[in-house]
Amino acid sequence: MSRVLVIDDSPMLLELTVRALTAAGYEASGAQDLAALDQKLTEGPFALILMDVNMPEMFGDDVVEYLRKQKGVTAKLVLYSDISEQELEAKVKNSGADSYILKSGGLEGVLGGVMGLIGAPALNIPKAPMAAGGRKPRILIVDDSEMTARIIEADLVSKGFEVHVADTADKATKIILKKQTRPDLVLLDVRMPNVNGEQFCRFIKSNSLFKGIKVLLCSGENVEELQRICREAGADGYIPKDAVMGSLVAKELMPPGAE
């Protein structure tokens, strides 16, 4: 069984974490408060419950005792927080939780922690092809919407990509200039303040240093407008924002003839 329950009072973090776990193949769901938690527990047992430590109406370490003693839950109980690791270790020990995951590790840290505790899901999840040198393919998401960028990041991380995020062209340029972070592909929002995606695409494609970097434009524009911008900016392709990001990007990076 690969059912995971995430408890967090932040709607954005809750959605991102559940999306990342679901994309990785787990049957994941979320709860923001005790009432929602109790409702989820009636839907069947979970293999792991991930709990934010600091929430308005309850603390994650108190919920551990509630779940063990009052609800008889046998799932792995994991505390999740951005407090110091030493303080988190102490809370795990005092509450009887099974483990902890640091929020500073991001979505990749959550996925790694969950897999380490309950194993990889049984589903067959497509993984990214390896890039040159045997490393993970590297993708840079450039989007001024943090929510959009993090949702796309969650999907791509779960599929085995190394992902970097920038909300401006200036930050993206710094990432591209460093050899150790230079991406294989840039997923570029068209509509951004200051330097827009069309201008930034031209910058990448006109610089011989960045030869080999693919650029996919990502936008909510209609298809005809996206095709025009793509053609005039020299992009390698485009993805409507409502498309399934992970599968399309994986296909774009897959070597010709590969299954």
pLDDT of residue 203: 92
* Per-residue pLDDT reduced to its tens digit, 210-247: 888 999 888 776 778 878 888 888 998 887 665 544 44
pLDDT at 145: 80
Does residue 248 carry a pLDDT above 70? no
Judge whether 3-118 and 132-253 match in fold: yes
Question: What type of residue sits at position 74?
Answer: T
- Fold designation for 3-118: Rossmann fold (3.40.50)
* pLDDT value at residue 229: 85
Which letter, b or e, does each residue of 112-151 get, where b requires 16 or more Cβ atoms within 10 Å of its Cβ?
Answer: ebbeebbeebeeeeeebeebeeeebbbbbbbbbeeebbbb
Q: Report pLDDT digits (tens) over 131-164.
A: 666 788 899 999 888 777 877 787 788 778 899 9
In this structure, which topology does domain 132-253 adopt according to CATH? Answer: Rossmann fold (3.40.50)
Domain ranges (residues) in the chain: 3-118, 132-253
- What pLDDT, on a 0 to 100 scale, did the predictor assign at position 73? 92
Global confidence as pTM: 0.56
Give pLDDT, residue 128.
Answer: 55
| 256: pLDDT strictly greater than 60 | no
Judged against a pLDDT cut of 90, whether residue 171 lies above it is answered with yes
Q: pLDDT for 72-126, tens place per residue?
A: 999 999 999 888 999 999 999 999 999 999 988 877 788 888 988 998 775 444 4
Say how many C-beta atoms besides its own lie within 10 A of residue 81's C-beta: 21
